[in-house]
Structure 1
């Protein structure tokens, strides 16, 4: 079931510190002699902007769950959905998706995101990041890389669907149904971002398929 809908605020949750793994608070890299500075996560690969797609509101859920026309498969990118009416997040609340509000501090906790991502990979369903009326794409990248260095790249390139990448997300205290990546039903998985902001940055256009809701 999708995470419980929480009130939308105008201030984005503060991104988790790079390298954070959801462990005990206060843990970090030791300072002083001999301490090494962690390398920043690799920037997700960029490509040429693709022609934008325009779909009706009723076509969005089938796109995320079944990709009936093969748009996501042929583009090799996940959708960045521009919904100026703000209708799609409300529709997705009643669908079998993991819907996360980027402006919610609780929902952007590293382990909350990790478990939502694993749940979508395990049960073959969409994970959707709702940015409200803002462009918080960079913040989402930081949240993902706060779980595991380079996770943004693994997600955007779809390598996160591979068993070895899934295995790295699993923790010893996770429920047994999540312990074996061989049982993950990744065929129905999709990753998407939704905003009601009409303008789309060049950075997003180079990494995702822009889908506008008519």
Structure 2
């Protein structure tokens, strides 16, 4: 009699490479190999070129109005510098000379003027009407007054002082928009279509020699 075939026999040839063993239930599959993820390095901010100290220019009293309005050789240099103007007037005549011209002038020695709210309104007026905004710091402690002034402008909004010094406040509506308050008159302050911000100038006037740091930040003229 022919031999009996067992139930385990299939009569098939195992596939090449097959082990013939059934993988154990629940056996872990080999983990897939992932390519290493490259970490992105933080972008480095481009360093701004350092400001250089500019030697003061000497001008006459008659010429100072032209300088403020960027007219003439020194006026053109002032405009090209991209800085705010610092006028040193040892004779004390420039303040009177400019006061009767189309400017907004604040005197640091007058407590009623030298406060954040008058400073804010004068700044808005200068941006709106294209007038020079002149801060007269004559007869004050020159080592401290600009720091005091910066503190008062920073009360208007943080960064206001630097925005004036680099003139970005006259180029960015979002920056001069920070000057507004809810109770400001709509027509007087908030109409954006009649602004002459591109003509804005911030000028510091003094009758004594300023600190060396001011020569680093401003375009300085000495009136003789």
- CA deviation vs aligned residue, 1:58-78 (integer Å, no higher than 9, x gap): 121222234444222211111
Match of 1:196 in 2: 207
- Relative distance call for 1:85 and 1:47 in structure 2 (3 A) is same
Which structure has the greater CA radius of gyration? 2
Match of 2:139 in 1: 133
Q: How far apart are the structure 2 equivalents of 1:114 and 1:96?
A: 18
> Structure 1: any 5+ residue segments left out of the alignment?
1-44
Match of 2:81 among 54, 75, 88: 75
Q: Does residue 1:158 correspond to 2:167, yes or no?
A: yes
| 1:64-213 matched pairs, under 5 angstroms | 64-68=68-72, 69-134=75-140, 135=142, 136-161=145-170, 162-175=172-185, 176-198=187-209, 200-213=210-223
Count of aligned pairs between the two proteins: 169
Q: How far apart are the structure 1 equivalents of 2:71 and 2:157?
A: 28
Match of 1:58 in 2: 62
* Structure possessing the higher relative contact order (Cα contacts under 8 Å, 6 or more residues apart): 1
CA contact (8 A) 2:61 2:223 kept: yes
SS at match of 2:217: coil
Q: How far apart are the structure 2 equivalents of 1:123 and 1:104?
A: 24
The CA RMSD measured in Å over matched residues stands at 1.7
CA contact (8 A) 1:125 1:189 kept: yes
- Relative distance call for 1:46 and 1:202 in structure 2 (3 A) is farther
